[in-house]
Amino acid sequence: MRDFCFEVAIIGGGPAGTATGIALKNLGIDSVFIVEAGTYSKPKIGESIPPNTQTLFQRLNIFDAFSSQHHEPCLGSYSCWGSTQLGFNDNLFNPYGAGWHLDRRRFDLFLARQFKALSGALVDNTRFSNLSVMKNDLYPIKLSFENHPDVCCRFVVDATGQSAKVARKFGAAVSMQDLMVSFAAYFDCQDTHLNENKLTLLEAVEQGWWYCASIPNNLQVVSLTTDIAVAKKLKLKQPENWYSLLKHSKHINNRIEGSAFPNRLNSWKTPSSLLSPPAGNGWLAVGDAAACYDPISSQGIYKALANGLQAAKAIALWLNGDANGLTEYRNKVVKDFVNYLEQRDYFYGQEQRWLEAEFWVKRRAYLAGLKYG
Ligand SMILES: Cc1cc2nc3c(=O)[nH]c(=O)nc-3n(C[C@H](O)[C@H](O)[C@H](O)COP(=O)(O)OP(=O)(O)OC[C@H]3O[C@@H](n4cnc5c(N)ncnc54)[C@H](O)[C@@H]3O)c2cc1C
């Protein structure tokens, strides 16, 4: 192939994009190019991964390398959901042992380096802007970038996260099942015993739910996930309003007692959405570009890695003239999303303490009427 022409171009170098790249390389597809808009230097949210992620690392042939990164173990979780009592779920009897609290910035960089170690081509600080389909067929595809010469490829992977920027150019649309927002602050626990606590903590409240977990550098991340309308009414963008709600929580407030409020909030949209369709001739989407799950599931990164493995198989078949893998991939993404919605509905349905509160009324409305399919 001539310069800047690849078999597969992957747009987005987060966990889904790099896992797809690694899996393609493992299948013997040599000519794979990843383009990442960022530089792996900014902090990212999305830290806890379940113990069975180990199986995906093994299938990607990176488990030993991942283990040597020494991310914090996640020994289990407490939750106050559906009653005032704290329930405990530990990973002691899990056949895979503990999960992990990831340092996301370091984790994303690690995956990018694993891809490069397989002679994968990756450029960062480069943003995809558009594509065109040449020769009146769906390939080759010409991709353009803000600060890089054009690239052409036979197959393109959308791994751009929630924006699904590439798939939209192929006419795919995002079907939104629910949309919430999370506000998070990082508490410095340098001088406290708090970071000895390696259990995540979940607490439902009238306005949504709180989450607290230890992360590297003696920090605790504390987030509130709520409805967008509720957030606007309570002016939660203002740190003092968020903090005053935190003071009314029972368990989360106890957990960070004694550490100073950092006075700075980050916010993220937290949709439950499915891309329709998640794949077509010459392209597919992986990770959050294909489907976004509520962070309560702690499944986002697991799904990103699993999609990467499934996608690579489908792409390898397609490059050999067999489109059946793409159909299978599309069906799998939809089936997993339906399963996820059922689990989510069950979980939110367990909380019956605030039947009149807007956050819970709206979640029940989603349970009752807005199911996918
Ligand atoms: C508040 C919150 C809490 C969460 N907690 C958890 C958790 O505890 N556990 C868990 O497993 N998941 C969690 N998640 C979900 C998890 O963060 C995501 O599912 C995961 O990051 C998805 O990986 P991805 O590679 O699909 O997308 P991303 O990680 O979003 O990566 C997409 C990449 O594409 C790049 N990109 C975007 N546009 C372009 C472009 N035009 N050109 C080039 N590159 C581009 C971006 O820079 C980015 O690096 C949480 C999410 C939120 C919002």
Atom index in ligand 1 nearest the CA of residue 268 equals: 53
Query: Residue 191: what pLDDT?
Result: 58
Q: What is the pLDDT of residues 4-16, one digit of tens each?
A: 899 999 999 999 9
Residue 346 pLDDT > 50: yes
Query: Residue 198: what pLDDT?
Result: 72
- The DSSP 8-state label assigned to residue 46 in this structure reads -
Contact, 42 vs 109, CB < 8 A?
Answer: no
Query: Residue 164: what pLDDT?
Result: 98
The protein residue whose alpha carbon is closest to atom 29 in ligand 1 is: 14
pLDDT classification of 33: cutoffs 50, 70, 90: very high
Contact, 259 vs 146, CB < 8 A?
Answer: no
Residue 312 pLDDT > 80: yes
The single residue listed with the structure tokens 């986002």 is 300
Helices (H), 27-136: 53-59, 63-67, 104-117
Q: What is the pLDDT of residues 241-295, one digit of tens each?
A: 999 999 999 999 988 888 888 888 999 999 999 999 999 999 999 999 999 999 9
CA of 248 to the centre of ligand 1 (A): 30
Distance between CA atoms of residues 311 and 19, nearest Å: 10
Ligand 1 neighbourhood includes 72 CB (under 6 angstroms): no
CA gyration radius, the chain: 21
Q: At what angle do helices 104-117 and 15-26 cross, to 10 degrees?
A: 20
What DSSP element (H or E) covers 22?
helix 15-26
Q: In what order do the strands lie in the sheet with 48-49?
A: 48-49, 99-101, 72-74
- The DSSP 8-state label assigned to residue 194 in this structure reads G
pLDDT classification of 2: cutoffs 50, 70, 90: very low
Mean pLDDT of the chain: 91
Span 115-128, mean pLDDT? Answer: 96
Q: Left, alpha or beta for 347 (phi > 0: left; psi -120 to 50: alpha)?
A: alpha
For strands 141-145 and 76-80, give the pairing.
Answer: unpaired
Ligand 1 neighbourhood includes 319 CB (under 6 angstroms): no
Sketch out the chain's domains with CATH numbers: 5-72+101-173+271-338 (3.50.50.60), 176-269 (3.30.9.100)
Ligand 1 neighbourhood includes 294 CB (under 6 angstroms): no
Ligand 1 neighbourhood includes 45 CB (under 6 angstroms): yes
Residue 111 pLDDT > 90: yes
Residue 193 pLDDT > 90: no
Residue 74 pLDDT > 90: no
CA angle centred on 196, ends 193 and 201, rounded to 5°: 105
Residue 351's contacts (CB-CB under 8 Å, 6 or more residues apart) are: 81, 82, 204, 360
Q: Which of 131, 160, 210, 333 to mutate to test the pocket of ligand 1 (most atoms within 8 A of CB)?
A: 160
For the ranges 46-50, 183-187, 220-224, 243-247, the lowest mean pLDDT is seen at 46-50
**DSSP 3-state assignment of 179?**
strand
Ligand 1 neighbourhood includes 271 CB (under 6 angstroms): no
Ligand 1 neighbourhood includes 160 CB (under 6 angstroms): yes
Own/partner pairs, 106-110, CB within 8 angstroms, 24+ separation: 106/69, 106/71, 106/216, 107/15, 107/69, 107/71, 108/13, 108/14, 108/15, 108/18, 108/40, 108/44, 109/40, 110/65, 110/66, 110/69
Atom index in ligand 1 nearest the CA of residue 44 equals: 17
CA of 305 to the centre of ligand 1 (A): 12
53 is written with which tokens? Answer: 């992620």
Residue 188 pLDDT > 90: no
Span 354-367, mean pLDDT? Answer: 88
Ligand 1 neighbourhood includes 214 CB (under 6 angstroms): no
Calculate the dihedral angle through the C-alpha atoms of 95, 96, 101, 102, rounding to the nearest 10 degrees.
Answer: -160
Q: Which of 288, 296, 302 to mutate to test the pocket of ligand 1 (most atoms within 8 A of CB)?
A: 288
Span 79-98, mean pLDDT? Answer: 81
Distance between CA atoms of residues 133 and 341, nearest Å: 35
Span 320-333, mean pLDDT? Answer: 97
20 is written with which tokens? Answer: 């797809």
Query: Residue 372: what pLDDT?
Result: 43
Span 327-335, mean pLDDT? Answer: 98
